[in-house]
Structure 1
């Protein structure tokens, strides 16, 4: 990663009622977008401890291609070595992990793909979409994320690109953003029917992630409408202090939102190149639509259409 000026991303002050899921952290000469440890589940959302630990262990190992030792996994997941060892042995038994006797490290194994292949299968391979994401990142000089909306409303990160002289995205593929992650939520809902938007608001509650987060339903609905008129979703320090995200949906052959594409960067830098990001993202999303054979809403931005209404 190349140097990024630290004064490009002002630090915000978190209040006690804010619930950050990610934050910008200064590491050497870089800005890193990292996860914030989630709070314990509320009443009615009790987790099975052993299953929760197993999932956390799998997610942790997924971040380390060279694998991790028992001691490292135990420390990172705050699990006793004996309990951690039992979970690891169980995962190895099912071939979700493999243990390397030489390095004493655990790594992901083929059993994960075997047992989860149905959930990972899609109409178009990520292998075909990844070059589009890389070209978009290079064209705008920003880090990009591709995510998939899930039935519970959350967004599964399926690919990411950390650009030079931009923010390094530290969270792994497979991480889930909450349903009200502002840019994702607006891009996901903007081209849906009024009934679908009403249903979303009847099931979801807007949380305050920063002092700038819009939490009043009427104002949030107005931003969704503005997203459709503008052609893209914008979140400026609403989900993460100092971070601006610009996002657009990707549709499938039936006209349903199948993916969300977004570019992220420090607020001052993204403000300067917002129109460029929108133009290049429109080209990238159009390329994805051609790969998928999508049915796209008539008012969705196309590359040949003029840019953006500054009054939106």
Structure 2
């Protein structure tokens, strides 16, 4: 790639490290330093320095016979994309059913750094259409029903970035302190679903539940939302429909999370 083909700032060493990873091919999971030098075109010293860095980062490991081998990390990262593609394929009919059953707008979101990105939104059954989050739009993970469900059930992975970014307030009820947020996340896990009461938009409420994939990893969250008086306090039939949707979507994505446990959680309301 010539300098003229590049646009914007970039880090040359990161680009070189990525190109080293791309030297590994199907059927060739292990390569020697000499093979990596030949394929990448880098000097031996440059390749060795980059490989050592990738080892420290957990992307490569060295075999007993001094070859370099990919770890599970690239697969895990790639799985995020695969699961996102899968979830958008199987979610629409379930979100449509949830919208009709609840009479609310329904959403599917996934995490992207400290934000939640909306992949799907269904309004077919909504009594009043609340366009709280557009498809492709995002909002902070500490705001809203589906985003906080994501954060609560994947707190260890997601919360540090959220806290580094800060907890800006959108409305008087937005959670803006770490202690309050941690308490809310604990309550969400105990309840089985998140409750959003005007913290994103005054007068709008939502309920959100996590979606799991292979290995019981949180891959997204679904929610139903509308004007406050139609959503809060949570109605048992809405909670049941929400958790059943999350459970069925999780099962289709390879999760073994017990549907019985989710159904039991639906009997508890705030």
How far is the alpha carbon of 1:119 from its aligned partner? Answer: 5.9
Q: Which residue of 2 aligns with 1:167?
A: 129
Give the distance between the partners of 2:107 and 2:176, measured in 1 at CA. 24
Matching of residue 221 in structure 1 with residue 182 in structure 2 = yes
- The alignment partner of 1:288 has SS state of helix
Number of paired residues?
191
Match of 1:232 among 193, 197, 200: 193
The reply on whether 1:178 has 2:140 as its aligned counterpart is: yes
Structure 1 residues 183 and 121, CA, compared in 2 at 3 Å: closer, same or farther? closer
Q: Which whole-Å CA distance do the structure 1 matches of 2:141 and 2:111 have between them?
A: 9
Bigger shift: 280-289 or 177-186? 177-186
- Greater length-normalized contact order (CA 8 Å, ≥ 6 residues apart): 1
CA contact under 8 A between 1:145 and 1:262: conserved in structure 2?
yes
Residue 251 (structure 1) aligns with: 212
Which position in structure 2 is the counterpart of 1:286?
247
Q: Give 1:271 shift.
A: 1.5
Choose between structure 1 and 2: higher helix proportion: 2
Q: Which runs of 5+ in 1 are unaligned?
A: 1-47, 49-117
What is the aligned partner in structure 1 of residue 5 from structure 2? none
Provide the rounded CA distance (Å) in 1 between the counterparts of 2:165 and 2:153. Answer: 18
In the alignment, what sits opposite 1:275?
A: 236
Deviations along 1:69-104, one digit per CA (max 9) or x if unpaired, are: xxxxxxxxxxxxxxxxxxxxxxxxxxxxxxxxxxxx
User: Does the 8 Å contact 2:243/2:266 carry over to 1?
Assistant: no
Q: Which runs of 5+ in 2 are unaligned?
A: 1-7, 9-79
Query: Larger C-alpha radius of gyration, 1 or 2?
Result: 2
**1:1-312 equivalence runs, <5 A:** 122=84, 124=86, 126-150=88-112, 152-162=113-123, 163-169=125-131, 172-192=134-154, 195-196=156-157, 199-200=160-161, 202-271=163-232, 273-296=234-257, 301-303=261-263, 305=264, 307-310=266-269
Query: How far 1:217 moved relative to its partner?
Result: 1.2
SS of the counterpart of 2:214?
Answer: coil
- CA-to-partner distance for each residue in 1:174-223, whole Å, 9 max, x for gaps? 11222332423421122236x44662454231111111112121111111
1:210-247 C-alpha deviation (Å, 9 max, x unpaired):
11112121111111000011110001011110000100
* Equivalent residues of 1:187, 1:233 under 8 A apart: yes
CA RMSD of aligned residues (A): 2.8
Distance 2:87 2:215 in 1: 18
What TM-score do you get using the length of structure 1 for normalisation?
0.55
User: What is the CA–CA distance in structure 2 between the aligned matches of 1:224 and 1:300, rounded to whole Å?
Assistant: 22
Separation in structure 1 between the aligned mates of residue 169 and residue 117 of structure 2, nearest angstrom:
21
C-alpha spacing 1:236/1:125, structure 2 compared with 1 (3 Å):
closer
User: CA-to-partner distance for each residue in 1:142-197, whole Å, 9 max, x for gaps?
Assistant: 110111112x121221111113412242754211222332423421122236x446
Distance in 1 separating the partners of 2:83 and 2:268: 38
Q: Does the C-alpha gap of structure 1 residues 130 and 209 become closer, same or farther in structure 2, counting only changes over 3 Å? A: same
Deviates more, 1:159-168 or 1:261-270: 159-168
Tell me the CA shift for residue 273 of structure 1.
Answer: 4.9
